Structure 1
């Protein structure tokens, strides 16, 4: 337990940085699920596009696999001079205290839902150079993961929980968004039984790989509205007088595990479906 707390404390030092949805572990898991469930021809197309990685000239963010591709958009954000314009693409702040509106906070397509659709279109365009299609593949893989992290969509004037100081069990000094990006996601993925990365049955795909991009955003918003904020604050905090420091209790940790697992599964299988359509 002491080692775990030290690790969480170390990760918390990064919490002031822009949030990385699901963290590297979550994003790589989404990509691994997708790769296990795409058609063989799609897998071959992905391998071919990965050969164009040197043309991107991002040696500090190497890409040799779809799992690497899933974290590339967060990695290149460190180079603000080249990639600052992509920052708003990772999220879409839709208030949990107002009716759902997919057009909210998405001026000129600068939001995660619009970028999922845009990059799927670019990936499918075989007229484009390989390096541009690879860039679209990496953004698509990452943004499908972002869209399924509830606090990258639902929020309450707090940047998706980034401004809400929170303790994770006995670990202090975190914020609500970071808890869902990191320790909560890692706990859920590592304890999943059966493992999340596997070949899913046709019935499972029919149940999980459903809906439109708007549907996926609405699902994330609903998880934020109906579970995350009430679990953190004891109610849906819409009067802006609630405490700015909450405790993500052990009870909330356990209740969140199946929710996180399903969001990751849906992201991976929906990504697989999009990749088959774009590259098939």
Structure 2
């Protein structure tokens, strides 16, 4: 029993660690995929923009690589007095119980899909300062990742699963969103074969780098509607109140792995294509 208790405590600490969140491990993986698959010119332009990092005046959130850039928008949220206006940019709550609508919950462009389009244009604008373009590089890199996390788009009045208490197998006291941000993503990425971070073939890129920002959002919404919520609740919870507590079972964990891997791959390859369009 003592060994079991120690193991359980280790698992809880493991899945609760913010270092494993899609906001860190997953985002860094997406950025690494992109960096492996951009053109040499784009890679050189990214490194040139990174030289402007000291001008950001965010010493608690250093940026020396595209992987660092991918987590910078989450890091600076600690200074809410300075960066609070960016909080709505990370998600777009679109109901899984209504027809998909890309304009939903995006007042004045304050949502993830609109901000990807905006920052892509700013990144490509060579009239702007290097510091301004670096900020847009970081937001594009981060927000493309956020858009591919299903619970950053599809939800059921529960803030993308944040209000749904959930156990991850035998690890208790999480919520549904946190499970998909953290332990589910970490397990999928670390067990992928072949590794997700690699140079992809032309055929793979053609298969993965498809669609528009609206299409990417719709994909995440569909994963939430067709798989994630039914797997968590045993049905699509549109006809009544959600259960206050669910268990993300071992079967759900295993079924989610290929879905997560594809979302991460698509985000990385699509980000590479977007960066090439803006910088090469």
Distance 1:40 1:3 in 2: 48
Cα deviation for residue 11 of structure 1 reads 5.9
Cα deviation for residue 12 of structure 1 reads 6.3
Deviations 1:103-127 (A, max 9, x none): 0000000000001111000000000
Find the counterpart in structure 2 of residue 241 from structure 1: 241
* Secondary structure of 1:257 counterpart: helix
Relative to 1, partners in 2 of residues 1:258 and 1:243: Cα closer, same or farther, differing over 3 Å?
same
Distance 1:137 1:23 in 2: 16
Find the counterpart in structure 2 of residue 69 from structure 1: 69
Assess if the C-alpha contact under 8 Å between 1:94 and 1:100 holds in 2.
Answer: yes
Distance 1:156 1:34 in 2: 32
Query: Where in structure 2 are the equivalents of 1:33-72 lying within 5 Å?
Result: 33-72=33-72
Deviations 1:54-111 (A, max 9, x none): 0000000000000000000000000001000000000000000000000000000000
Distance 1:60 1:263 in 2: 30
- Say whether 1:10 aligns with 2:13: yes
* Secondary structure of 1:242 counterpart: coil
Assess if the C-alpha contact under 8 Å between 2:165 and 2:173 holds in 1.
Answer: yes
Find the counterpart in structure 1 of residue 185 from structure 2: 185
Assess if the C-alpha contact under 8 Å between 1:8 and 1:183 holds in 2.
Answer: no
Relative to 1, partners in 2 of residues 1:11 and 1:108: Cα closer, same or farther, differing over 3 Å?
farther
Query: Where in structure 2 are the equivalents of 1:184-263 lying within 5 Å?
Result: 184-263=184-263
* Secondary structure of 2:173 counterpart: strand
Aligned residues: 276
Relative to 1, partners in 2 of residues 1:220 and 1:21: Cα closer, same or farther, differing over 3 Å?
farther
Assess if the C-alpha contact under 8 Å between 2:15 and 2:183 holds in 1.
Answer: no
* Secondary structure of 1:161 counterpart: coil
* Higher mean C-alpha displacement, 21-30 vs 195-204: 21-30
Assess if the C-alpha contact under 8 Å between 2:21 and 2:183 holds in 1.
Answer: no
Find the counterpart in structure 2 of residue 78 from structure 1: 78
Q: Which runs of 5+ in 1 are unaligned?
A: none
* Secondary structure of 1:77 counterpart: helix
- The root-mean-square deviation of aligned C-alpha atoms, in Å, is 1.6
Query: Where in structure 2 are the equivalents of 1:134-213 lying within 5 Å?
Result: 134-213=134-213
Distance 2:47 2:16 in 1: 36
Assess if the C-alpha contact under 8 Å between 1:21 and 1:146 holds in 2.
Answer: no
Cα deviation for residue 13 of structure 1 reads 5.8
Cα deviation for residue 23 of structure 1 reads 2.9
- Structure 1 runs (4+) deviating above 6 angstroms are 1-4
Distance 1:255 1:187 in 2: 12
Distance 1:46 1:3 in 2: 44
Distance 1:181 1:4 in 2: 22
The two structures have a TM-score, normalised by structure 2, of 0.95
Distance 2:15 2:88 in 1: 22
Cα deviation for residue 154 of structure 1 reads 0.1
Query: Where in structure 2 are the equivalents of 1:84-163 lying within 5 Å?
Result: 84-163=84-163
Assess if the C-alpha contact under 8 Å between 1:95 and 1:154 holds in 2.
Answer: yes
Cα deviation for residue 2 of structure 1 reads 6.4
* Higher mean C-alpha displacement, 231-240 vs 254-263: 231-240
Deviations 1:170-211 (A, max 9, x none): 000000000000000000000000000000000000000100
